[in-house]
Amino acid sequence: MNKRVAVSLIAASLLASGSAFAQSTTVQGAEEGARAGAEVGGPIGGIVGGTVGAAVGAAVEIPNAVITSIPRGERSVVVREQVVVGEPLPPSVELRVVPNHTEYRYAVVNDRRVIVEPRTRRVIRVID
């Protein structure tokens, strides 16, 4: 019974966690989910956590066509804040539409290209 509770807690924490939604790849989601699950629920928790983490990672994976559409060599905006996946960009940073993929926005911040969720301004992928 305790294992079921632990597995449920792992799954809930992965699905509810903002950092879990910010996963950039399925592999990274699976690895982090397995690690968190194993810590709480042992081997069974690791299996369940890896599965849930992979599903969450796949849900937010950015297609390669989007990544390759973002131009290089654009002027960078310098901000004091650290650019971190899952955190919003400051309002002073201009978001640009990704060519041919209008559902995404990007910016070049501190010499790094980032893909941003336009509604919340949260970084969903750091490319450089």
pLDDT confidence tier of residue 16, bands split at 50, 70 and 90: very low
The percentage of the chain sitting over the pLDDT mark of 90, rounded to a whole number, equals 34
Residue 16: exposed, middle, or buried by beta-carbon count in 10 A (0-12, 13-18, 19+)?
A: exposed
- Around Cβ 82, how many Cβ atoms within 10 Å? 8
Identify which of 114, 93, 117 has the alpha carbon closest to the alpha carbon of residue 103.
Answer: 117
Average confidence (pLDDT) over 34-49: 66
The pTM assigned to this predicted structure is 0.54
Question: Dihedrals φ, ψ of 118, to 5°?
Answer: -60, -35
